Amino acid sequence: MPLAAIDVAAAPLRALAWLGRQGTRAIAALVVVGIALPPLGEVLRPYVAEAIFLLLCISFMRVDTAALREHVRRPGIVLAASLWTMIAVPALIGLGCLAAGLDKSSPDLFLALMLQAVASPMMAAPALAALMGLDSTLALITLVAGTALVPLTAPLFAWLFFGSALTLSPLALGLKLALMLAGSLGVAMTIRKLFGIVAIRRARDPIDGINIIVLMVFVSAVMGTIAGDFWADPLRVAGVALLSFAIFFALTGATMLVFRRLSPERALALGLLVSQRNMGLMVAATAGALPELTWLYFAMSQFPIYLSPQLLKPVVGRLGAIDENFRQPRTPG
């Protein structure tokens, strides 16, 4: 093959690698593009389920199974963290919403909060924790456990709290989640078997580039209506944004309080995991058949997720100093 032809064939790979190296800057740019180009969101919204499936495939494909086996040495902590994120959190949010009468006063917002609560943690949450300099091992193990539990817990809470607010039956919801997770895991394991984990790690930058392109489908779909919603009712959009930030920090803080006996940095890593829910998975499971206010909340809740590395950077620095004192042995006397 002529050198010119080889260079042309390699150009897309280099472009993907360049995009992958942009990291959080590229993700921030996606948010801007999603808000600035509402027609793009309308075009891409029907493909959200397929995009989430591909994102799950990429995430499962890159999981270091050897590291998981090596680090599962404290099953008690993993079990407690999994029960907290998949049972306690949705139960507390659901009961709180019912006590506040949100199911009657704003059923669409109630649906949004409950879909957020029953979702498993984001597949990218351990990576964001690592990006902030936190120990992401426990977060990764809890993520895997929570993802395995979600086909069982999501239908249970759908039956308890959603009632007629969700057009998809709890059994159908659980079946769709199980099929989506099992299918993406099967595809990921097939790719690992064909190419090997070494080749996958070597192609990290191009794979990151593909990840960002696929993520654009979800971000554009949920962000596409923000500009129009803001001009139509700026107070409502501002209120939903404040609520999304409040939920994010409340979940982070509550998780750190529950797991305060761990080192502060590990508690914060779990807090980030619990507050970053995989709402895209729930959108895919419901085929995007959600009310407009539910979509708005999902869109606004992306801001605290993607801004958290910058927002919590000073906290991480202070916790690092505390963590050093936490690890130092106490001298008697």
Strand partners, 277: 121
Write the CB contacts of 184 (distance below 8 Å, at least 6 apart in sequence). Answer: 53, 56, 57, 60
Write the CB contacts of 5 (distance below 8 Å, at least 6 apart in sequence). Answer: none
Q: Contact, 157 vs 94, CB < 8 A?
A: yes
Q: What is the set of domains in the chain, with CATH numbers?
A: 26-317 (1.20.1530.20)
Three-state secondary structure call for residue 277: strand
Q: For residue 277, which amino acid is it? A: R
pLDDT tens per residue, the chain (333 residues)?
Answer: 554 444 555 777 888 888 878 766 777 787 788 888 888 888 888 887 888 788 888 878 877 777 667 666 667 888 899 999 999 999 999 999 999 999 889 989 998 999 899 998 887 677 667 667 676 677 778 888 888 888 888 888 888 887 655 556 667 777 877 888 889 889 989 999 999 888 888 888 888 888 888 888 877 877 777 877 888 888 999 999 999 999 999 999 999 999 988 888 888 889 988 998 988 777 777 766 778 888 889 888 888 887 776 677 777 666 655 545 544 444 443
Reference 272, options 172, 168, 80, 131; nearest CA is 131
Residue 140, CB-side half-sphere exposure with 13 Å CA sphere: 22
- The model's pTM: 0.74
Please spell the DSSP secondary structure of 233-263, one letter per residue: -HHHHHHHHHHHHHHHHHHHHHHHHHTTTS-
Q: For the chain, give me the number of helices (H) and strands (E)?
A: 21, 0
Q: Contact, 62 vs 189, CB < 8 A?
A: no
**CA-to-CA separations, 287 to 48, 51, 70, 213, 253, in angstroms, rounded:** 8, 12, 37, 20, 32
| Cβ neighbours around 328 below 10 Å, total | 8
